[in-house]
């Protein structure tokens, strides 16, 4: 059962709200984690861990550093969910 | 063969903590490496840490903390027959630290050994002490966590020099006749040797190295089940905990584990803010300071959780006197 981008975005919004206290409505695809959402590398790890629980997709540290925007994570989750 | 007669259980009689006099603030560190007070506070939660004097040794700090715990216990040095020093930063490979510490405290010819489970060391040593008392191989045990991490820090490496610090903490463990009075629960311990390369000091000419992000990921995902299991083995529900005192590795790790543990009544130790990460000393040091401030009620369940290089981890429920 494939997730749509919108479903992933909503799930990601909930995670980012919980981990970093950024309201979910501010989590939009074009936003960058570091500059726009003020999320640091440790919070990114927490987001990756929560994303694994929520979407069943593992995001290793060496992949995580390349995910700069919300859309990057959405693409990664969608691709990995398909190949899984 | 005749065997020792044990006791029904063990409990902690008293605590003692010691911090070196010198306070090193984030601003002071920011003068030598590219960092800032705001960055350090937000990433690791430390505002200041204590650093030992150049001639102050691990044994000196262990004696200071151990002496306080011994004095507060009401026991005399002659009552102690086992001394365990948890440390990963002894000045020498041999002799060990524990025997010298015992002699300096006037404890006559006890069993004495150092143990290295890095930042989990205190919880391992406390489990050993409890078991020794319960089996009758020791009458009363002095357990000390003491570290001088500053001598293994590269002060130009901003990934480690902002974190690690020096200090010591100690407890006296004694037997109880009635199991209902026991104050040290069953330990849950383990290791993950496949992650040996995540935190290490390569050799005597090297500094401490830590792959912070990997350790953070491991600590925030693997440890809350250990914490819950330690509660379960002690027959304590996490909601009953009055305090949670994990190793003071990083305030964000502490908070993440606490959140996943689900212990709404527990006061969560945040001693790292002014103590830094003191490895095996962090748990007894945090406990002794919380007790001094009257933050932990007597006889109520407190969860300890040590974790660090190895990787090694251990947790147990205790009560404080």
**CATH code: domain of residue B86:** 3.40.47.10
The answer to whether residues B270 and B189 belong to one domain is yes
Mean pLDDT of the B200-220 span: 94
CB B141 within 8 A of CB B82: yes
The answer to whether residues B202 and B146 belong to one domain is no
Domain termination site, one of B161, B179, B197: B179
- What's the pLDDT score for residue B148? 98
Mean pLDDT of the B133-138 span: 97
Mean pLDDT of the B11-32 span: 97
- What's the pLDDT score for residue A83? 62
**What are the tens digits of pLDDT across the range B173-194?**
999 999 999 999 999 999 999 9
Q: Which residue of chain B is at minimal alpha-carbon distance from A47?
A: B217
Tell whether B126 is covered by a domain: yes
Judged against a pLDDT cut of 90, whether residue A20 lies above it is answered with no
The answer to whether residues B93 and B108 belong to one domain is yes
Extract the runs of DSSP E, i.e. beta strands, from chain B. Answer: 9-18, 22-25, 48-51, 82-86, 111-115, 141-148, 166-176, 188-191, 199-201, 208-210, 243-246, 267-268, 301-308, 312-319
- What's the pLDDT score for residue A3? 84
- What's the pLDDT score for residue B190? 98
Domain termination site, one of B131, B161, B179: B179
Report how far residue B92's alpha carbon sits from residue B64's, in angstroms, rounded to the nearest whole number: 19
Number of domains within chain B? 2
Tell whether B1 is covered by a domain: no
- What's the pLDDT score for residue A19? 87
Tell whether B311 is covered by a domain: yes
Tell whether B213 is covered by a domain: yes
Between chain A and chain B, how many beta carbons pairs sit less than 8 Å apart? 20
Residue B188, sorted as left (phi over 0), alpha (psi -120 to 50) or beta, turns out to be beta
Mean pLDDT of the B2-25 span: 96
Give ∠ CA B110-B115-B118 in degrees, rounded to 5.
Answer: 150
Report how far residue B86's alpha carbon sits from residue B120's, in angstroms, rounded to the nearest whole number: 9
Q: Which residue of chain A is at minimal alpha-carbon distance from B211?
A: A61
Under an 8 A CB cutoff, do A45 and B217 touch?
yes
Under an 8 A CB cutoff, do A61 and B213 touch?
yes
What does the buried/exposed string (b/e) look like for B169-205 if buried means 16 or more CB atoms within 10 Å of the residue's CB?
Answer: bbbbbbbbeeeeebbbbbbbbeeeeebeebbeeeeee
- What's the pLDDT score for residue A53? 87
The answer to whether residues B63 and B148 belong to one domain is yes
Report how far residue B75's alpha carbon sits from residue B209's, in angstroms, rounded to the nearest whole number: 41
Judged against a pLDDT cut of 90, whether residue B240 lies above it is answered with yes
The answer to whether residues B189 and B297 belong to one domain is yes
**What are the tens digits of pLDDT across the range B256-304?**
999 999 999 999 999 999 999 999 999 999 999 999 999 999 999 999 9
The answer to whether residues B27 and B172 belong to one domain is yes
Share the mean pLDDT of chain B.
97
The answer to whether residues B174 and B185 belong to one domain is no
Domain termination site, one of B111, B146, B179: B179
Which residue range forms the structural domain that includes residue B250? 181-319
Tell whether B224 is covered by a domain: yes
Angle A41-55/A70-83 helices, nearest 10 degrees? 40
The answer to whether residues B101 and B223 belong to one domain is no
Judged against a pLDDT cut of 60, whether residue B129 lies above it is answered with yes
Tell whether B231 is covered by a domain: yes
The answer to whether residues B200 and B175 belong to one domain is no
Architecture of domain A5-83: Orthogonal Bundle (1.10)
What is the distance in angstroms between the Cα of B286 and the nearest Cα belonging to chain A?
Answer: 24
Nearest CB neighbour to A40, from listed B43, B220, B221: B43
Nearest CB neighbour to A61, from listed B43, B214, B220: B214
The answer to whether residues B195 and B84 belong to one domain is no
Identify which of B280, B229, B277 has the alpha carbon closest to the alpha carbon of residue B253.
B277
Report how far residue A75's alpha carbon sits from residue B193's, in angstroms, rounded to the nearest whole number: 34
Report how far residue B86's alpha carbon sits from residue B71's, in angstroms, rounded to the nearest whole number: 20
The one-character DSSP state at B77 is G
**What are the tens digits of pLDDT across the range A55-82?**
999 999 889 999 999 999 999 999 887 6
Residue A2's pLDDT band, with cuts at 50, 70 and 90, is confident
**What are the tens digits of pLDDT across the range B57-116?**
999 999 999 999 999 999 999 999 999 999 999 999 999 999 999 999 999 999 999 999
Judged against a pLDDT cut of 90, whether residue B162 lies above it is answered with yes
The answer to whether residues B173 and B240 belong to one domain is no
Tell whether B302 is covered by a domain: yes
Judged against a pLDDT cut of 70, whether residue A84 lies above it is answered with no
CB B223 within 8 A of CB B280: no
Nearest CB neighbour to B256, from listed A40, A46, A48: A46
B224 is catalytic: no
Q: Which residue of chain B is at minimal alpha-carbon distance from A65?
A: B213
Extract the runs of DSSP E, i.e. beta strands, from A1-84. Answer: none
CB B247 within 8 A of CB B119: yes
B277 is catalytic: yes
Please indicate if any CB of chain B lies within 8 Å of the CB of A42: yes
User: Alpha carbon of B81 to those of B70, B107, B169, B188, B290: distances in Å?
Assistant: 13, 8, 19, 25, 28
Tell if the pTM clears 0.80, that is, is over it.
yes
- What's the pLDDT score for residue A81? 77
The answer to whether residues B132 and B145 belong to one domain is yes
Please indicate if any CB of chain B lies within 8 Å of the CB of A48: yes
């Amino acid at each position: 059962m494939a997730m749509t981008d919108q479903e992933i975005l909503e799930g990601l919004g909930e995670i980012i709200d919980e981990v970093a206290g950024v309201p979910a409505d501010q989590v939009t695809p074009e936003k960058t984690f570091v500059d726009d959402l003020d999320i640091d590398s440790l919070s990114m790890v927490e987001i990756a861990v929560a994303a694994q629980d929520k979407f069943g997709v593992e995001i290793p540290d060496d992949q995580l550093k390349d995910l700069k925007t919300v859309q990057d994570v959405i693409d990664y989750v969608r691709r990995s969910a398909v190949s899984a | 063969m005749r065997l020792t007669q044990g006791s029904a259980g063990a409990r902690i009689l008293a605590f003692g903590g010691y911090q070196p006099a010198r306070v090193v603030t984030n601003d002071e560190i920011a003068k030598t490496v590219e960092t800032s007070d705001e960055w350090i506070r937000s990433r690791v939660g430390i505002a200041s840490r204590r650093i030992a004097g150049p001639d102050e040794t691990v044994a000196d700090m262990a004696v200071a903390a151990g002496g306080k715990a011994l004095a507060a216990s009401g026991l005399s040095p002659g009552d102690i027959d086992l001394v365990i020093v948890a440390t990963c930063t002894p000045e020498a490979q041999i002799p060990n630290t524990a025997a010298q510490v015992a002699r300096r405290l006037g404890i006559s010819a006890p069993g004495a050994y150092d143990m290295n489970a890095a930042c989990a060391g205190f919880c391992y040593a406390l489990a050993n002490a409890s078991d020794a008392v319960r089996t009758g191989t020791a009458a009363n045990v002095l357990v000390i966590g003491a570290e001088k991490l500053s001598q293994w820090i590269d002060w130009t490496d901003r990934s480690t020099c902002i974190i690690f610090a020096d200090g010591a903490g100690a407890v006296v463990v004694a037997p109880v006749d009635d199991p209902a009075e026991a104050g040290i629960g069953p330990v849950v311990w383990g290791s993950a040797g496949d992650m040996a390369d995540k935190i290490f000091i390569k050799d005597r000419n090297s500094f401490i190295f830590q792959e912070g992000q990997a350790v953070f990921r491991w600590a925030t995902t693997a440890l809350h089940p250990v914490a819950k299991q330690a509660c379960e083995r002690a027959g304590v529900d996490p909601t009953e905990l009055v305090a949670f005192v994990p190793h003071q590795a990083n305030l964000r790790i502490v908070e993440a584990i606490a959140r996943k543990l689900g212990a709404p009544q527990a006061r969560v130790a945040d001693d790292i803010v002014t103590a830094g990460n003191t490895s095996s000393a962090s748990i007894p040091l945090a406990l002794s300071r919380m007790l001094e401030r009257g933050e932990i009620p007597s006889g109520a369940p407190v969860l300890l959780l040590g974790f660090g290089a190895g990787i090694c981890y251990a947790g147990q429920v205790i009560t404080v006197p």
